[in-house]
Structure 1
Amino acid sequence: MIQAALVKKQRRFFYAFALLIAATVVVSLGSGYSSLSYDRLFATFIGQGTFKEDFVLYSIRMPRIAITLLAGMALALAGAILQSITRNDLADPGIIGINSGAGVAIAVFFLFMPVDPGLFVYLLPAVAFAGAFLTALLIYAFSYNKATGLQPIRLVLVGIGFSMALSGIMIVLISSAEREKVDFIANWLAGNIWGTDWPFVLAILPWLLVLIPFTLYKANRLNMLNLSEPVAVGLGVSIEKERLTLLMTAVALAAAAVSVTGGIAFIGLMAPHIAKSLVGPRHQLFLPLAILIGGWLLLLADTLGRNMLEPSGIPAGIMAALIGAPYFMYLLMKK
């Protein structure tokens, strides 16, 4: 039974971050290389803008903001799941190699597979999922011990090793590729938000509409998996089955996100920790907050990055790393 006072506290933070996202969206809509002043935002939004203003708002700014919010939410939820099923506060899709696995699959698909341009957008999340899932299974297998079960610290170390190895494979893949394709992969590796059209929103949205409710439904199972294995078994949890199911969920969320945003790390690390520090470790309480915080963090990183060095800006992945790397070091020393 969750205390009523704690539920009220969670709702206050939920509404606060929703307002923070709304404020950041307004700032993001009116800032950038293409001019669209704040005093023209409302007029353009209700259909009284010029052709240029309509194009900037509806074809450039709004789809990019939607993609950034959705991807940040997916990465935050994936990080929360990974931290729970591994009982390791340092787990994150970008840090432990899942994003790198998705990246290699996307690189192979982009460089060597002929595909209809109209289907390219919608196939990317599935291709990224295949690569990320294979990587996650290998990391899980190398981290598991029959006598002691899953070893959380070993999982992080194995994941970092896989991430480095897959980065090397990526370099080999692009070393002989065409210049245009190399530029795309390089932007992907830097975490440059490249899927900035409405079809990319439609490609990632179904994954989140299915997986976010599913994860919230599994919140109590995640609470149990956070306990020691004997206690979880005593409560009737099929540990390996639940772990594998939730691992696939985390991999699908991360793959859907990075397929359109590039290799972005640390969002999945920071958002769950911030949410837990505000409302505690119960998944029913902190998961909805973590989703909002993840969306806001990536939106903030992208908004800051694209306004720092015009016209190209700084990739959101680099901005997220500048914020997240010190936080990761702090957690590493603390744990």
Structure 2
Amino acid sequence: MENAVDFSIERKRHKRAIGVMIVLGVLILVAFLISMNTGYIRLSPADVVRTLFGFGTSKQNLILFDFRLPRIVISILIGAGLAVSGCVMQAISRNALADPGILGINAGAGLMVMLFISYYPSTSAAPVYLLPVLALCGAGLTAALIFSLTFKRYRGVMPTRLLLTGIAVAAAISAATIVLTLRLSPEKYQFVATWMAGSIWGTNWKFVLSLMPWIFVLIPFVFYKANVMNVLNLGDLTARGLGTPVSREQLLLLAAAVGLAASSVAVSGGIGFVGLIGPHLARRLVGPKHQYLLPASALAGMLLVLVADTIGRWILQPSEIPTGIVVAIIGAPYFLYLLAKSK
């Protein structure tokens, strides 16, 4: 009887999770279509359809295929990468406030990219495919520093200590970044300032191709580890009792999370809060089981970044607000709300 009840509850959860993901997918599609019609030079829905099917003018093809579509695709990839990265970090640390931006991972990746831009002769000629690798080095070193300061031999990773250490390291890295900007030329300073605000600056298909391998390899790997994350949420002692090699799995998942965050930051700048809001919204909608939570987090992150980028391009035309600022306007109050609720 109990098995039948449990099966019925699980089936309802499964149906609800599928329904939520379908709704999020539809909302992403709607935002995608609206974003293609949004910009300084307006394309009507009919113009977009004609251009997509190869009947647009050369000007319409240039606007849609060379400017808008790459940026939309990058927004979607970045949203998925940052949200899944945040979800993994929350599972590893068992801390609902963990996020690659708050913990300093984004700042570490950004510092390495900024160092490269500072000493490279021309920002426009910077090798696109090298930036995610440099960002990964910076993010990896930052993550190693934070976890070495947080980890205790017999107690593992302590959630409160992790959060406070991450905030302190992020503040130190941000201060170092600001100091380094003082030696930049005016044009490089303008680029770095925009990048730090969270502007999606990589807006051509080369940046899409540089980001896709990281997203399409690491996200399926994380999804494959969903059961491991479910066990890790039970606590280190319970996980070890169930035969899970906790330290090894935490290290693998951390490496995946850092890779996702770093590759996203390399082309998006310092966009924060996506890794916090996406998993939290998904958890409220589909529950804590990672088989549903991870894909729902990815979809929520996609929707958040795509909508924020569309608003940023539309609200102050012909100028635009960096996507990171729009996300921060949404995310900062939500973070304070979560901090107030946490025990």
The two structures have a TM-score, normalised by structure 1, of 0.97
1:203 and 2:210 matched: yes
After TM superposition, give the deviation of residue 165 of structure 1 in Å.
0.6
Q: Which residue of 2 aligns with 1:325?
A: 332
Provide Cα deviations, 1:187-209, integer angstroms capped at 9, x if missing partner: 11100110000000000000011
After TM superposition, give the deviation of residue 119 of structure 1 in Å.
6.6
Partner letter of residue 238 of structure 2?
A: V
Q: Which residue of 2 aligns with 1:304?
A: 311
* Contact 2:123 2:188 (8 Å CA) reproduced: no
What does 1:115-154 align with in structure 2 at a 5 Å threshold? 120-154=127-161
Provide Cα deviations, 1:62-103, integer angstroms capped at 9, x if missing partner: 000000000000000000000000000000001110000001
Partner of 1:141, secondary structure, is: helix
After TM superposition, give the deviation of residue 242 of structure 1 in Å.
0.9
Q: Which residue of 1 aligns with 2:256?
A: 249
Structure 2 residues not aligned, in runs of 5+ = 1-5
Over aligned residues, Cα RMSD in angstroms?
Answer: 1.5
Q: Which residue of 1 aligns with 2:28?
A: 21
Provide Cα deviations, 1:132-181, integer angstroms capped at 9, x if missing partner: 00000000011112232211111111111111110111111110111111
**Which residue among 50, 56, 76 is the counterpart of 1:69?**
76
Q: Which residue of 2 aligns with 1:53?
A: 60
Q: Which residue of 1 aligns with 2:3?
A: none
Structure 1 residues not aligned, in runs of 5+ = none
**Which residue among 222, 225, 229 is the counterpart of 1:218?**
225
Q: Which residue of 2 aligns with 1:259?
A: 266
Provide Cα deviations, 1:12-68, integer angstroms capped at 9, x if missing partner: 111111110000011000011122122311111111111111111101110000000
* Contact 2:150 2:157 (8 Å CA) reproduced: yes
Partner of 2:83, secondary structure, is: helix
Whole-Å Cα distance in 2 between the matches of residues 108 and 143 of structure 1?
27
1:280 and 2:284 matched: no
1:98 and 2:98 matched: no
Partner of 2:214, secondary structure, is: helix
**Which residue among 179, 182, 199 is the counterpart of 1:175?**
182
Q: Which residue of 2 aligns with 1:291?
A: 298
Whole-Å Cα distance in 2 between the matches of residues 178 and 328 of structure 1?
35
Aligned length: 335
Partner of 1:263, secondary structure, is: coil
Partner letter of residue 143 of structure 2?
A: A
Partner letter of residue 227 of structure 2?
A: N
* Contact 2:232 2:239 (8 Å CA) reproduced: yes
1:89 and 2:96 matched: yes
Identity of matched residues, %: 47
Change (3 A) 1:158 1:188: same
**Which residue among 225, 229, 240 is the counterpart of 2:236?**
229
Change (3 A) 1:27 1:218: same
Partner letter of residue 247 of structure 1?
A: L
Whole-Å Cα distance in 2 between the matches of residues 318 and 118 of structure 1?
27
The two structures have a TM-score, normalised by structure 2, of 0.95
Partner letter of residue 86 of structure 1?
A: S
Whole-Å Cα distance in 2 between the matches of residues 154 and 144 of structure 1?
9
Provide Cα deviations, 1:247-295, integer angstroms capped at 9, x if missing partner: 1100000001010010011110011111111111000011111111101
Partner letter of residue 268 of structure 1?
A: G
